[in-house]
């Protein structure tokens, strides 16, 4: 009996020693990982790694500090959208007509009512127009009326305001209930392969897929020999709402066809001109013009065009960090779950209603109180603020929802494989991380450098781990390079996988 007691005491001491050793190793590992984020004083960090199955904190560094997340905000937007709407949710663009439809002729107007479909691309519009043709429509004697009334206005938030009348970007597009191709225009630019020495030759430039009334091209570019390529395209919106696409620079004959995308200006009649160009390409004549307005009560429903399922939209939103999709769906969420007014009523799709719906979800479902500022859904706003605790808590919450988690996870870029992570984790030492991280990136360079990475990593011991890393430069100090911040994120993930085994 005495020997058994001694054995149990020794075994207990051995177990306590093992626990102590494990705890000591864990503290040592945490201290080593913290060194990656101990900046020389010009970077603010908030970091958290949580085991997804139970929410246990595996590592944290200033986890409650709120910083500017940039496009990592889209994690919040997409998670709430999937949970509130469901992955199979569709939005219906409806086509009505006034007057009569006899022998293929609509005697009145064709009215298209937007429902906030952010993924109404050329293929979907071609489908709609072809179906109108199958329904026998051959001529519209009146106007095309675009009803954008679900959203209060095709407003530009402050992050897009600078590109209202002139822009060299695609993301400055107005956010409207009826939008074609993300409210952008594609310009196809093809070089001239046989150059004449007698005169300046221009590359071939055209709007894709069809010319659009109200949009003109000013081609000042030159085709040259060699491998030179520096094409610049600027969208200029004039006082009469007509648009010019100014093409400048040089391109060489060895280049292939390229497509450049530019945002529409503040007026959304161009979306109706898009529709007219597709109708006329299909052989449906439009006698009138394009106007914005409201569907009247006597208009007759002609055709309904369902959107792609929400899950496909979320994939485009997160994989490629599409700002337009995020902001349209924020307003559409507000139309469905308004804080003020009736659901899906005229003007209910506002940023305010959308923000309220997301803030309410975060406070009630994630129990976030003061650890965030949600200003817009895309992350373009420099006023957004989140902590690593808040973001990783959201990721744990969504992980536990089988109804939405598979679609949410598949929407996130895979490390070194696709989306915004395609060109990252390329150093040889990161080879084990290729495809093992699913995460959303975030980058801004003003007013300070901001780089973020948040998502999931598969750990050999802990299983799925939700993590969030937000890094901001500090005002008034030399700004860190985005590359250096990204390096620290990748280093921290590698260290975490290799050493946090307890």
Task: Write the pLDDT tens digit of every residue in 302-337.
Answer: 999 999 999 999 999 999 999 999 999 999 999 999
Structural domains in the chain, CATH included, are 32-88+311-499 (3.40.710.10), 92-308 (3.50.80.20)
Partners of residue 215 on adjacent β-strands: 243
Q: What's the confidence (pLDDT) of residue 11?
A: 55
Helix runs in 108-223, H state only: 122-134
Is pLDDT at 120 greater than 80 in this prediction?
Answer: yes
Q: What's the confidence (pLDDT) of residue 256?
A: 84
Whether residue 135 contacts residue 302, with contact meaning beta carbons closer than 8 Å, is answered with yes
Q: What's the confidence (pLDDT) of residue 341?
A: 81
Is pLDDT at 285 greater than 60 in this prediction?
Answer: yes
pLDDT tens per residue across span 438-490: 999 999 999 999 999 999 999 999 999 999 999 999 999 999 999 999 999 99
Q: What's the confidence (pLDDT) of residue 56?
A: 96
Look up residue 291 and give its two tokens: 């106007």
Say if pTM beats, i.e. exceeds, 0.85: yes
Compute the mean pLDDT over every residue in the chain, rounded to the nearest whole number: 90
Is pLDDT at 433 greater than 60 in this prediction?
Answer: yes
Give counts: helices (H), strands (E), the chain: 10, 24
Residue 471, φ and ψ in degrees, nearest 5? -130, 130
Place of tokens 């030399």: 478
Q: What's the confidence (pLDDT) of residue 28?
A: 77
Q: What's the confidence (pLDDT) of residue 378?
A: 95
pLDDT tens per residue across span 15-44: 555 445 556 666 777 888 898 998 778 999
pLDDT band at 225 (very low <50, low <70, confident <90, very high): confident
Q: How far is CA 260 from CA 161, 163, 189, 468, in A?
A: 21, 16, 8, 33
Spatial neighbors of 396 by CB under 8 A, at least 6 apart, are 50, 52, 55, 466
Q: What's the confidence (pLDDT) of residue 17?
A: 52
Q: What's the confidence (pLDDT) of residue 19?
A: 47
Residue 190, φ and ψ in degrees, nearest 5? -120, 130
Q: Residues 167-195: what's their mean pLDDT?
A: 87
Look up residue 253 and give its two tokens: 């004959």
- 297 CA to centre of own chain: 36
- Range scoring the smallest mean pLDDT among 180-184, 229-233, 245-249, 488-492: 229-233
Q: What's the confidence (pLDDT) of residue 390?
A: 96
pLDDT band at 191 (very low <50, low <70, confident <90, very high): confident
Kindly report the number of other CB atoms within 10 A of residue 118's CB atom: 26
Is pLDDT at 181 greater than 90 in this prediction?
Answer: yes
pLDDT tens per residue across span 245-281: 999 999 887 778 899 999 887 777 889 999 999 999 9
* Strand pairing category for 139-140 and 258-263: unpaired
pLDDT tens per residue across span 364-406: 999 987 779 999 999 999 999 999 999 999 999 999 999 999 9
Is pLDDT at 157 greater than 60 in this prediction?
Answer: no
Spatial neighbors of 5 by CB under 8 A, at least 6 apart, are none
Q: What's the confidence (pLDDT) of residue 346?
A: 92
- pLDDT > 90: what percent of the chain? 75
Q: What's the confidence (pLDDT) of residue 227?
A: 76
Is pLDDT at 499 greater than 60 in this prediction?
Answer: yes
In whole angstroms, what is the distance from residue 380 CA to residue 420 CA? Answer: 16
Minimal CA–CA distance to 89: which of 404, 300, 356, 327?
A: 404
Is pLDDT at 73 greater than 50 in this prediction?
Answer: yes
């Amino acid at each position: 009996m005495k020997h058994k007691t001694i054995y149990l005491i020794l075994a207990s001491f051995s177990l306590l020693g093992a626990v102590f050793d494990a705890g000591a190793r864990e503290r040592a590992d945490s201290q080593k990982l913290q060194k990656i984020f101990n900046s020389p004083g010009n970077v603010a960090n908030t970091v958290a790694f949580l085991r997804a199955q139970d929410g246990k904190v595996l590592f944290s560094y200033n986890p409650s500090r709120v910083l500017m997340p940039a496009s990592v905000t889209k994690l919040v937007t997409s998670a709430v959208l999937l949970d509130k709407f469901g992955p199979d949710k569709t939005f219906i663009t409806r086509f009505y007509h006034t007057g009569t439809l006899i022998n293929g002729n609509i005697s009145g107007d064709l009215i298209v009512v937007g429902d906030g479909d952010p993924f109404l691309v050329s293929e979907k519009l071609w489908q709609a127009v072809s179906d109108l043709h199958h329904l026998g429509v051959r001529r519209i004697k009146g106007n095309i009326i675009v009803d954008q009334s679900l959203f209060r206005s095709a407003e530009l938030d402050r992050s897009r305001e600078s590109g209202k009348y002139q822009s060299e970007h695609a993301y400055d597009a107005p956010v409207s209930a009826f939008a074609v191709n993300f409210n952008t225009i594609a310009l196809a630019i093809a070089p001239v392969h046989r150059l004449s020495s007698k005169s300046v030759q221009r590359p071939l430039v055209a709007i894709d897929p069809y010319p659009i009334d109200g949009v003109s091209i000013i081609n000042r570019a030159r085709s040259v020999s060699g491998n030179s390529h520096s094409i610049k395209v600027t969208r200029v919106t004039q006082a009469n709402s007509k648009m010019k696409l100014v093409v400048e620079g040089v391109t060489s004959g060895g280049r292939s066809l390229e497509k450049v995308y530019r945002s529409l200006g503040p007026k959304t009649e161009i979306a109706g001109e898009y529709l007219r160009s597709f109708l006329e390409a299909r052989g449906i004549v439009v006698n009138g013009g394009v106007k914005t307005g409201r569907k009247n009560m006597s208009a007759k429903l002609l055709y309904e065009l369902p959107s792609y399922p929400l899950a496909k939209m979320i994939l485009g939103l997160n994989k490629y960090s599409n700002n337009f999709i995020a902001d349209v769906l924020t307003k559409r969420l507000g139309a469905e779950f308004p804080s003020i007014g009736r659901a899906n009523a005229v003007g209910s799709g506002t940023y305010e209603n959308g923000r309220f719906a997301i803030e309410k979800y975060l406070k009630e479902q994630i129990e976030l109180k003061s650890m965030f500022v949600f200003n817009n859904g895309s992350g373009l706003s420099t006023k957004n603020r989140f902590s690593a605790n808040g973001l990783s808590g959201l990721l744990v919450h969504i992980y536990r929802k089988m109804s939405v988690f598979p679609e949410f996870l598949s929407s996130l870029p895979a490390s070194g494989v696709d989306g915004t992570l395609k060109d990252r984790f390329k150093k040889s030492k990161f080879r084990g991380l290729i495809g093992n991280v699913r995460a959303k990136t975030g980058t801004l360079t003003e007013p300070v450098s901001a780089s973020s990475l948040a998502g999931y990593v598969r750990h050999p011991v802990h299983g799925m781990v939700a993590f969030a890393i937000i890094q901001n430069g500090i005002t008034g100090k030399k700004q860190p390079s985005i590359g250096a911040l990204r390096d620290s994120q990748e280093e921290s993930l590698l260290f975490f996988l290799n050493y946090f085994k307890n």
